[in-house]
Structure 1
């Protein structure tokens, strides 16, 4: 793996001008220059962040420009938080879990098992049920500005072998998020942590049996659909919680109109993903030809969801803040169940 990683790093360096296709900047010597790194690789970044940053750069012009870097390009994803906190980079697009945030909210970023069913659940949880206030308070304690959170895709398995029963999960070596891996280990899954750019090779060589990192849109976009054979329609979360962050001092130094412009442009990224993933998940299930769809029976999968609620209670015992967040998830999901169709289908 180390030798392949060196090869991949060299290949990236040689083709930086074409393969990476960084976001355009529109001023040679702006008054303010930021560096932002995303969790996403180049192909995915074309959708989830690059258009928003290019829009910001066009409008801000000589006042400010943001240089965009892709997954692991400046620092490994697991070091993103520390690099931003120290001012090595100015801003980050990631989930809390992947960037190893030392805050009380880290467990809930990324895929909190069965915390959401649909992508719209995430902005409602943040903007109407109080998560936004908690996130901002927790990050302010550690010198980081939490700008905003949004919904990404649901979390599904894409694997080399078909999954048709819970027993098929046992021993499955899977690339996934830390909290999702901690939960899936209860069912015999072996979570594997490697750099994002190594995943495709690891699937080809058999070092990974699959991934539980995304939905089907991302599998096709980044090429994982070419190195896996099956897609499990059951998911462990309806939407990933991802955010934009900035070094607090650098953010506070911005004039108010640039803070507002930054927020508006990043909101366009959240909005883009809402429809891009929602439509893509359906379209590729129907028209995608790379992977065969499989399912685990509902009655079996119901035991996974029941175990998730036990997992929530385990998390709640870790601190008062985590307990407060778990209560918000419980309240929200209870409200959605009581609201009935179309919010929840029993």
Structure 2
């Protein structure tokens, strides 16, 4: 298994994620940015849009992109950005160990979201955008943009057909998702992203609950697991673009706008890439066999999630505000009926 130390040393010796760029003037603003994603996934979730930024910005500004754990471990991304070691980050709050009141909602907050469109609506019409901006400004980080990513499903080596099958399974997942899933006997495991595939091969892991089926195929996890559980604990991942506040404030307004436009274009790409991929690979994928926990049994997990919301809301005033927004939104969706929600 590649160690993080050797991986970083190798990355330092090699060129970073090289992006096509024009000749660079000495006055060019240079940023270093790290994503949560490994190389194969980054080809979809960020690299094209950083290339777009660099092409348009030209010799005024260039962003050097690094992949998961290439400069610092993902769990240290926030601190590195706050210190200015890294200028910008693409991640969820949970993975990068953000010390904010909203961290628990990043990544997969269980059953808060049914579809990918839920994320931009919550942020832009239900006030989450303002809450995130306030919380990150307190710790010297600019929250630039939030978007929806893929749903959270299990991909495992052994079939999952009931809640009992989850007992004792060692699963690579996000901190909050792991905290919730431990109620059903799951043993959450934290590893560097690049070590996951080998850990599945050696038996260190029994499976993952880190993504939907599109990522399982894209990054190679479908090659080392056998089954895909169609039940999910969240219909979309909440991911963000962030920047060191001082570096952000130094940018001229047009470059700030350009960065925001490119970030939003990245979110839009993922919205349709995941939506189409999730369906197509369930139907046409030839690597993972689909399994399903019966709806009446899975309802126990959904009911437990509402108790989990109450526990999180009791932890602070800010968390209570976010949970209230999530409840309000889901109530509206339920009352609206199909296609917003199906019973």
Length-normalised TM-score, structure 1: 0.96
CA distance in 1, matches of 2:217, 2:285: 8
For residues 152 and 197 of structure 1, the distance between their equivalents in structure 2, rounded to whole angstroms, comes to 20
C-alpha distance 31-245 of structure 1, shift in aligned 2 (>3 A): same
| CA drift at 1:31 | 1.8
Matching residue within 274, 278, 286 for 1:277: 274
8 Å Cα contact 1:25/1:67 also seen in 2: no
Alignment of 1:162-177 (within 5 A): 162-177=159-174
Counterparts in 2 of 1:55 and 1:217: CA distance versus 1, 3 Å: same
5+ residue gaps, structure 1, are: none
Structure 2: tracts of 5 or more residues without a match? none
Counterpart in the other structure of 1:27: 23
* Aligned counterpart for 2:87 among listed residues 90, 112, 116: 90
Report the TM-score, using the length of structure 2 for normalisation.
0.97
2: CA distance between counterparts of 1:144 and 1:24?
28
Hey, what does 1:9 align to over in structure 2?
Answer: 7
Q: 1:198 aligns with which of 195, 198, 206?
A: 195
8 Å CA contact retained: 1:104, 1:138: yes
Residue 172 (structure 1) shift: 0.4
Q: Could you give the per-residue CA deviations for residues 199-258 of structure 1, whole angstroms, max 9, x where no partner exists? A: 000000000000000000000000000000000000000000000000000000100010
- 5 Å-filtered alignment, 1:258-273, equals 258-273=255-270
Once superposed, what is the RMSD of the aligned Cα atoms? 1.5
Q: 1:14: how far off?
A: 9.7
**Residue pair 1:163, 1:232 contacting (<8 A) in 2 also:** yes
What residue in structure 2 maps to residue 49 of structure 1? 46
How far apart are 1:26 and its partner, in Å? Answer: 2.7
> Does 1:154 pair with 2:143?
no
Counterpart in the other structure of 1:119: 116
Q: How far did 1:24 drift?
A: 2.6
Secondary structure, aligned partner of 1:149: strand
The match for 2:242 is: 245
Quote the Cα distance in structure 2 between the aligned partners of 1:40 and 1:23.
16
User: Is contact 2:17-2:67 (8 Å) kept?
Assistant: no
Contact 1:25 1:66 in 2 (8 A): no
Structure 1 distance, partners of 2:14, 2:220, is 19
Alignment of 1:303-318 (within 5 A): 303-318=300-315
CA offset digits 1:153-183 (Å, max 9, x no partner) = 0000000000000000000000000000000
Distance apart, 1:131 and its partner CA: 0.2
Q: Partners of 1:274 and 1:11 in 2: how far apart?
A: 34
Write the distance in 1 (CA, Å) between the matches of 2:227 and 2:77.
Answer: 32
Residues 11, 70 of structure 2: 8 Å contact kept? no
Task: Count how many residue pairs are aligned between Structure 1 and Structure 2.
Answer: 342
Paired with 1:21 and 1:220, the residues of 2 have a C-alpha distance of: 22
Aligned partner of 1:335 among 326, 332, 336 = 332
